Amino acid sequence: MTAEPAKSSLRYYAILVIVMAFWGASWPSAKIIVGTAPPMTIGFFRFFTASILFQILLFSTESEPRRIFRRSNFRILFLVGLTGIFGYGVLFLTGIRLTTAAQGAIIAGFNPATISLVAHIYHKERLAKRWQYIGFVVAFVGVIFVVGVQALLEFNLEYLIGNIIILGAMFTYGLYSSIGKEAMKTLSPLEVITGGTIIGTFLFGMGALTEEFWALPAMIDPVFWINVLYLGTCVTFIGFLFYFICIKELGATRAGGFINLVPVFGTVFSYLILKEVIYWTYGIGLLLVVVGIVIINFPIRKKELKA
């Protein structure tokens, strides 16, 4: 009788691994595409692709798909799009132009910590045990190994600036997560991500107009279109859709733990696709980030909470 649920969970675990591989591969993909076009143009076509797919799914599955266009929902969805799509996207693409995909992916491993930290400030959420806050320190020391220690051993100002910008992107995503949680009090996850993506696409579109995207060589470059479609379809649409499905089936804690695989996949793909050099400091940083996130998300039994 217990075999079937186990098989069902195994299926969702496999889906989560695929999603994390998609997200990990987004770092070398982004590194490639920023060499073909400016950030606003990349962001516009990536999220335009995703927004079309999300709207098709929304209108085919939701009973009231037009709710996201109501005036009462505009403010919260604008904040979702401004932070999680536009703000994060601009910092992500700007940072990756300056640093390596491997360094960016490892710093992205700090993302769950920034989500917890912002939730602590924004929603007054508290970790179950005080010792779990050590995880923030451990994870941040890991980021320092990537951002600071390697910079001291082999100084590269562009890498340092790019890494700091990507760290800023992680905090922006943490803010987006808290705003998204607020939005999901009245809207479904699909409505929130669809509305936010539409807003983000519009903001990126205004920027793309200033870049005169129609005149860019990237418009006829297959490398640009392959990567923008990958980022828009696999990373944004399929990735977030499957991730939310797995959260529904497995719970946020079990599904969220798989995010630790993103920097692992990101580092591996950066080495395999871009032939980037992986320094020993990256390995220590990656290990510390993963350990820190595990400490923060360490499961606490109800008996321990009462103690």
8 part of a folded domain = no
- Domain annotation covers residue 34: yes
Q: Are 50 and 86 in contact (CB under 8 A)?
A: no
pLDDT at 1: 44
Q: What pTM did the predictor assign?
A: 0.83
Predicted pLDDT at 287: 85
Q: Which residues contact 287 (CB under 8 A, 6 or more apart)?
A: 142
Answer whether residue 101 is part of any domain.
yes
Measured CA to CA, the distance from residue 93 to residue 30 in angstroms comes to 7
Backbone Cα Rg of the chain? 19
Q: How many domains does the chain have?
A: 1
Burial (0-12, 13-18, 19+ Cβ within 10 Å), 217: exposed
Quickly list DSSP for 41-94.
HHHHHHHHHHHHHHHHHHHHH-SSGGGGGSHHHHHHHHHHIIIIIIIHHHHHHH
Here the tokens at position 238 are: 């399929």
**Neighbour-count burial of 265, counting CB atoms closer than 10 A to its CB (0-12 exposed, 13-18 middle, 19+ buried):** buried
6 located within any domain: no
**Residue 134 sits in which domain range?**
13-297
pLDDT for the residue numbered 297: 65
pLDDT at 232: 96
- State the pLDDT at residue 209: 97
Using 50 as the pLDDT threshold, list the residues of the chain that sit under it: 1-3, 305, 307
302 belongs to a structural domain: no
The answer to whether residue 305 sits within a structural domain is no
pLDDT recorded at residue 216? 96
Do 84 and 200 touch, CB atoms closer than 8 A? yes
Q: How far, in Å, CA of 218 to CA of 39, rounded?
A: 12
* CA 88/CA 243 separation, integer angstroms: 19
